[in-house]
Amino acid sequence: MMKLAIALCPAILLAQSAASFDVATVKPSDALKNAGFASGWSIVESNDGLKITGNLQTFIKYAYSIDDVQISGGPPWLDRDFYEINGKAARQITVEERKQMLQSLLSDRFQLAVHRETRELPLYSMVLAKGGAKLQRGDAATRSSSSGATFLRGTMDSGAWAAALTSTLHRTVIDNTALQGIWKFDLTWAADDNTAGPSLFTALQEQPGLKMESTKGPVQVLVIDHAEKPSNN
């Protein structure tokens, strides 16, 4: 029985990775011309599909659950040309299935080929500042996050906070706080050209009681081997 279970595992994994939308369209988008589209992408998730507008780089970030700093290579238009993807499944799907389906679509429509590597890169180690954390306990049922040019807040665990700071700092942040459970995080800082308020690093120490230590370490990177612009459909 054990041998049978082991033999079936590769087939199960292959079936999962081959998951695809039953109906999907990809078309060029002029979203950046629309007012309010400052973030560079938008996404609407449903129980049976996904509508996402952005560039290939943002599609990869969502599909593979990574950030910009973990993407290497790619064509010149990777973060320049915008598209709208609308995919529908014939059944309800999970978050992970939705991402797998987008991976399949990118492979099919963008001819995307990638591989993973582990590289030694600069990163930040997030630790407790002197005096410890200045945080309130949060409720797991109210997990949330929001961000802007000079703020980052939410109710999450410290690992998710590190991931959010990775996007803000454009460098991988590793959680070494040893904080357990869900916490309420609230961080505001001054813009780079404004000397009237604290920098992000100062605000981290003064507000949630955390600090960043520069170091180097292994970071998993997704390397783009090939990509093509999709045909209109």
Q: How far apart are CA 143 and CA 163, in angstroms?
A: 14
Phi, psi of 205 (to 5 degrees): -75, -40
0.75 cut: is pTM over it? no
Q: How far apart are CA 58 and CA 67, in angstroms?
A: 9
Q: How far apart are CA 20 and CA 33, in angstroms?
A: 31
Task: List average pLDDT for each run of 10 residues in the chain, which is 233 residues long.
Answer: 37 51 93 55 87 94 90 95 95 92 97 96 95 93 85 92 90 94 95 83 96 94 96 72
Q: How far apart are CA 85 and CA 67, in angstroms?
A: 20
* Residue pair 96/17 in contact by the 8 Å Cβ criterion: no
Rounded alpha-carbon distances, angstroms, from residue 84 to 1, 33, 43, 87, 111: 47, 14, 10, 10, 16
List % helix, strand, coil for the chain (3-state, nearest 5): 30, 35, 35
pLDDT of residue 178: 95
